[in-house]
Amino acid sequence: MRQVEVTADLRAQRQDVLDALGPEALIRLEGTYEVDAVREAEGGWLVTASTIVGDEIVEMTLSVDTVENGYAYELVDGGFFEELHTTILVTDPPAEVRAEIDAPDLTRVTLNSTFTFGGPLARVKDWFATSNRRTELRRAVARLGEEVTDERDQVGGETDDGDDDRGGDGNRDADRDRDGAAGR
């Protein structure tokens, strides 16, 4: 299992960010899958989504639930992963961060995803997939920032669609195995 976390501060009110999220938006914002259907299920929603890889259509079904301050989803069937669990939390940033950049309407968004391909060589495949998953999460938070502010450069000071961990982009990323150890 690998874990990727992306945190960004958006220049938007917390409620505006929460209003922009929902079962469909959570998947759409990542940009890999197109949402085909959303239906209510016990305690949440089931989202069916698909993407084209080569000549094949890859479908997946996710279970989406509300959690305190956000949403969580997990893979039910299909897709590329054997297991996929993701949370999106919308909170207030620490007061010192808000004061430092003089933004009273600042909202912190944290996306945390744990995943594995499973099977033979899972650790190697998971390791290679870490940068792709991080890119999906960064893209999601950047697009969310664009939607709630109607401006491109409002995610932690600048939009980051790349997979560059040099810092300075306002995003704080961490990737680690489930037990928190880096790069095993």
pLDDT at 158 over 80: no
**Whole-number Å distance between alpha carbons of 139 and 143:** 6
- Is 110 within 8 Å of 92 (Cβ atoms)? no
Residue with tokens 């009273």: 104
Q: Which domains does the chain have, with CATH numbers?
A: 2-177 (3.30.530.20)
Q: Which residues, including other chains, have CB under 8 Å from residue 142's CB and lie 6 or more apart?
A: 8, 155, 159, 160, 161
pLDDT at 59 over 60: yes
**Mean per-residue pLDDT, 92-117:** 88
pLDDT at 100 over 90: no
User: What confidence category does residue 176 fall into, taking pLDDT thresholds of 50, 70 and 90?
Assistant: very low
Widest CA span in the chain: 51
Pick from 145, 136, 148, 171: nearest CA to 33: 136
